[in-house]
Amino acid sequence: MDGHTKQSFMDKVSKEPFAGILKISLVEVDEGYAVCEMVYSDELDNIHGMAHGGAIFSLIDEAFEISSNSYGLKAVALNVNVTYLRPATKGNILRATSSEISKQARTALYQIIVEDSDGVVAVCQALVHRKKEQPA
């Protein structure tokens, strides 16, 4: 992936409204690969004072979105399966790494791992439908 395309993805994520609400940033991108981060702060707590599963899922989804759209074709989620392994540590940076496992003409499979400084928080397997048109 050339530098211009990488910068284009960085710009898109920095301007994406939902990612902005959660303060998600794109750290790294390449074809079939993306790393996104966000700080686990009090605003992301659930009723038990732990990181809300929806916040962690949103970080996963951002990394998945970028990695699966990195080839210049529009890709949309078909199935996402998340396993939450342990609570995140408040104040830590949560990092989601999305890696392509398999890419076919119309589908692709990704593994997304969320970690903080204490280890793995969640793992995800996600399937995407690859369309023929380019993203907007």
Which pLDDT score is estimated for 130? 94
How far, in Å, are 4, 16, 21, 42 from residue 46 at the CA level? Answer: 39, 24, 16, 9
Express each pLDDT in 55-73 by its tens digit. Answer: 999 999 999 999 999 998 8
Domain ranges of the chain: 3-130
pTM over the 0.85 mark: yes
Q: Does domain 3-130 have CATH number 3.10.129.10?
A: yes
Q: Kindly report the length of the chain.
A: 136
